[in-house]
Amino acid sequence: SDKEKAENKKNAKQKRDFKQSDVKHQHKLTQTVFNKLRVAEEKRWFTDMGLEPECISCGKTNMDWCCGHYKTRGSQGNLRYDRQNTFLQCNRYCNMALSGNINGNKTTRGYKEGLRYRFGDKKALEIIDYCSRMSEPKKWTGEELTEMRKEFSSKLKAML
């Protein structure tokens, strides 16, 4: 009936509006696009440099890549979409099994040393200092995240 259709339309709009304002849901969507963009940007950087993509923490190549955060989203969520806080990392080993592998272990150099290896001491220290100083909490709105996601999506499409 027309009444049911109108009710269904109203419910669908309410659900859409709720999801738009649901910041947790919007973060999940935005993080996915940002991570894909950063992996693509990182791979392009290595290609442009004539290098094989490698993990910032262990130096291994040909891995299951992810966007590894130097400062975790839990500790400094304000840096979750910051390019200076995110570099190519192997997903299962360094990112998940070693919680980012920041300081390394017996067989890996770690994220900090990886920054030095890739960028040199001065630039690595600038990145580490920047990430350590940028500790002001950030609260995004659903609308801000939607706009960021659109921007990340268009940059990603342009790269692929």
pLDDT in tens, the chain (160 residues): 887 777 667 666 666 666 666 889 999 999 999 999 999 999 999 999 999 999 999 999 988 999 999 999 888 999 999 999 999 999 999 999 999 999 999 999 999 999 999 999 999 999 999 999 998 999 999 999 999 999 999 999 999 8
Look at residue 3 in the predicted model and tell me its pLDDT: 77
If we measure between CA atoms, which residue out of 52, 11, 19, 33 comes closest to residue 148? Answer: 33
Whole-prediction pTM value?
0.85
Token pair listed for 131: 């990430």
CA distances from 129 to 11, 12, 103, 123, 135 (A): 48, 46, 15, 10, 11
